Structure 1
């Protein structure tokens, strides 16, 4: 039963990662990291495919090597979060969301910039 659960989670995270390729506000690599992690517990072939992927394999391998995040990825994530926070300010959402979401994004950005780059 557990391998099936890991496979379902891997597919879910992989689907979210694929959506992130076309939706600029949805991150790709974090979902692929989660997909590879879940696949490693229940679907080794998918894990190997993700690790060997020519575009997304290197960030997954670097993360596993020591939570390494490239400077370009940090900038891309930070700019995306800033744009998302700015757009959110003009969206018809409750004030609490317009305050809380950018604060969470700021915390994530601070954490992200503390990750090693090499």
Structure 2
């Protein structure tokens, strides 16, 4: 797989793992506040681990995005590079019939032999 795909997968896994720690830490703090008890010793650790995992997930996803954008800008082809694209832009060079006026471009407005307007 491409490098940026691994970054995306790693970021999604880190987000998933953070959901195992953050809700437990919030639950411990909420239970302690509701029952007027002391906060369990692992509550802060759960929140810290969850925060680190979220920061890692954001970093991994952003790195994957940057690598993908950089790779796209270096390998992007433009329409003028494609010979079929050029023929679609210019109907005279393509596979369609030429319009009648293209055979006589200087006289495409009709007969130029009459009086001219000033």
Q: Which has the larger radius of gyration?
A: 2
TM-score if structure 2 supplies the norm length? 0.33
What TM-score results when the alignment is normalised by the length of structure 1? 0.33
Of structures 1 and 2, the one with the larger relative CO (CA 8 A, separation 6+) is 2
